[in-house]
Structure 1
Amino acid sequence: MVLDKLSNASRYTCLHPLFAQAFKFLQETNLATIETGVHEIEDRKLFAIISEGAGVAKDAYKLEVHRKYIDIQYVISGTDHMGWKDLALCAEPNDPYNEEREAAFFPDKTSNWFDVPAGSFTIFYPDDAHAAMVTGDRVVRKVVLKIAVEA
């Protein structure tokens, strides 16, 4: 898991063949006005999901993991409250992996909470169980870049 500011994105482009293109999208797109929804960047290897709205209450979150995609979650406005737990420390999923939604959900709770303010991003790999948008009624605008593990 990584937490950093977009101004430091160049530090991470060497970690995956599509990271440079993903960060270029974040730096060159007018994220304040782009439509919510899915935006394909490179087929199904790299795409962006733009969302805006309130999140869930802290007692209602679920930890999730993905197998085929790495998430780069960038906060455009507001502050996203996120949680993290090492997948190796999680119990069996209470909602097993589903290929169509590309996620599994776990009953575990985490004590690893952090705020991600506007202008910052996280990177979650397939071994990072994470919870995002644990913001209650606070509105957050963000983009989740989905990067295929196998480029």
Structure 2
Amino acid sequence: MFFTNIKLAEKYNYLNEKFLAAYDWLRNNDLKALEPGKYEIAGDDVVANVQVYDTLPIEEKRFEAHDKFFDIQCLVEGVEFFGVCNREGLTVIESKPEKDVIFYDKPEVYGHVILYPGDFIVVAPEDAHMPGCALTAPAAAKKVVVKVRV
């Protein structure tokens, strides 16, 4: 799964060596067996974060975006409703530059994908995303989020 705008496809090379290292790591590791935590793939330019959590109702989630990193969000277990939209024009509700995250109010209209085990979505810095949402009811999930430096 891949989601982007054609303008961003021309701006970024989603097959450069950092992305290829991330895809290779995802393909060649037993993601189900990995313990939660941080795994370096290519120094601090490509880092995997293994997360175990319960999805939450959409009403409890908010959109976020990052300035310094792409996210490759790969679902390992469970199912997740994943909101996506362009961050341009969104209202900032909280900014944590030290953690490279900006949170936004939910827009009236946004897109979404449903992630199943093995699915991943690449989110560019220009994209806002709302991960970790329950599809129908909160449920256990495991995900690997690979951060790829811009």
TM-score normalised by the chain length of structure 2: 0.85
- Give structure 1 stretches of 5+ with no counterpart: 4-12
Note the alpha carbon deviations across 1:25-61, whole angstroms, 9 max, x for none: 0110011111111111121100000011202211011
Q: How many residues get paired?
A: 139
CA distance in 2, matches of 1:65, 1:50: 19
CA distance in 2, matches of 1:33, 1:79: 18
Question: Is residue 51 of structure 2 the alignment partner of residue 51 of structure 1?
Answer: yes
Residue number in structure 2 paired with 1:132: 131
CA distance in 2, matches of 1:88, 1:112: 14
Correspondence 1:1-151 to 2 at 5 A: 2-3=2-3, 14-91=14-91, 93-96=92-95, 98-109=96-107, 110-135=109-134, 136-149=137-150
- Give structure 2 stretches of 5+ with no counterpart: 4-12
* Of 131-140 and 117-126, the range deviating more from structure 2: 131-140
CA distance in 2, matches of 1:111, 1:41: 32
TM-score normalised by the chain length of structure 1: 0.84
Identical pairs, percent: 23
* AA matched with 1:84: V
Note the alpha carbon deviations across 1:57-89, whole angstroms, 9 max, x for none: 110111000000000000111111100111123
Query: Does the Cα contact within 8 Å between 2:82 and 2:112 map onto a contact in 1?
Result: yes
